[in-house]
A and B are shown apart, each in its own frame.
Chain A
Amino acid sequence: MRSLIVTYVSLLGLLALTAGLSFIPMGMGNLIANLGIAVAKVVLIALVFMQLRSADSLTRTAAVTGLVWLALLFWLTLNDYLTRT
């Protein structure tokens, strides 16, 4: 129960941080901060709430596979859009 609540409080803290940072113009920095915080939140939820912390390697693999394939989709599509002339 304790770890659930600690996680929850950290998530709310990160939310406050990301919302607050959006009022400070940092250019690219905002994008990086927002995405970084989002990733941190996702990792917290996945590890603690979704119990990947204590999961076996098969479950972890299943959890990561979707992300790897998403990366393939992004990689090869951006490969086109970022090299258009």
Chain B
Amino acid sequence: MTENVHVQEQFQDAEQQHSTDVLGMWVFLGSEILFFGGLFLVYTIYRQAYPEAFAEASSHLNLWLATANTAILLSSSLTIAMSELLLRQDRLRSARLAMAATVGLGLVFLAIKGLEYYLEYAEGLVPFLGSFSYSGPDADQVRLFFHVYFSMTGLHALHLAIGVGLIVSMLVLSFRCSDRARLERQLEVSALYWHFVDVIWVVVFPILYLIK
């Protein structure tokens, strides 16, 4: 496999290039953990300070849509992992299908997330743009929760959108590039990112939606 493979000039061989790319992505993900980590810290501090307000606010979120969305993201992680495997097994067409399915699931997630945002807007729970109309107990702290909620989910959605872009570019690459080793390598690195976005959601989901 290593013959007739194009290796970038700074590397000695394909194996070095592959393991370096994977390491690079893991280091980047380590950095991303701390990027989201700042928000998780904010959440933790405020939740331990205002547990009742956070539980109250959380009960206004749509648990069913979020659960469906979690299932969708988990499915997308499966499809992207399958596409890697299929590509390694030289089943290019099936691998492309799995990539397309991943993109589709990602878009569905974003659409449902958008619907959730709309429902919250209609209920007057968006704490900015002057539309916040919640007036139950602890209104200020409930508002604080929604600040955290929107920054966390918004940032996650942004990452997911970037992930969709990445997988689309892998699809394009699979048609335009005949260097299979390169496609495998880049798909593996993109998939790592995709799984990471999934991991973030797996943590975000219980801490925002499942407070009782």
Interface residues of A (CB under 8 A from B): 1, 4-5, 7-8, 11-12, 15, 18-19, 22, 25, 30, 34-35, 37-38, 41-42, 45-46, 48-50, 56, 58-59, 62-63, 65-67, 69-70, 73-74, 77-78, 81-82
Q: How many A-B residue pairs have CB under 8 A?
A: 108
Tell me which residues across on chain A come within 8 A of B206, comparing CB atoms. 18, 34-35, 37-38
Question: Besides the contacts A15-B74, A45-B77, A67-B33, what 6 more A-B pairs have beta carbons closer than 8 Å?
Answer: A15-B70, A18-B206, A42-B199, A49-B78, A63-B29, A70-B33
The stretch of B40-48, B104-112, B172-180 in contact with A is: B40-48
Instruction: Tell me which of B23, B37, B78, B85 contacts A62 (CB under 8 A).
Output: B23
Tell me which residues across on chain B come within 8 A of A8, comparing CB atoms. 74-75, 77-78
Interface residues of B (CB under 8 A from A): 19, 22-23, 26-27, 29-34, 37-38, 40-41, 44-45, 48-49, 63, 67, 70-71, 74-75, 77-78, 80-82, 85, 191-192, 195-196, 198-199, 202-203, 205-207, 209-210, 212
Tell me which residues across on chain B come within 8 A of A5, comparing CB atoms. 78
CB distance from A64 to the nearest CB of B (A): 9
Dominant secondary structure at the A interface: helix
CB distance from B51 to the nearest CB of A (A): 10
Dominant secondary structure at the B interface: helix
Q: Chain A residue with minimal CB distance to B196?
A: A50
Tell me which residues across on chain A come within 8 A of B77, comparing CB atoms. 8, 11, 45, 49
Distance between Cα atoms of A1 and B198 in the complex (Å):
19
Flag if A66 contacts B30 (CB, 8 Å): yes
CB within 8 Å for A65 and B30 given contacts A15-B67, A15-B71: yes
CB distance from A49 to the nearest CB of B (A): 5
CB distance from A84 to the nearest CB of B (A): 10
Distance between Cα atoms of A43 and B27 in the complex (Å):
18
Instruction: Tell me which of B37, B80, B82 contacts A1 (CB under 8 A).
Output: B82
5 contacts between A and B (CB under 8 A): A18-B210, A46-B199, A49-B77, A49-B81, A73-B37
Tell me which residues across on chain B come within 8 A of A15, comparing CB atoms. 67, 70-71, 74
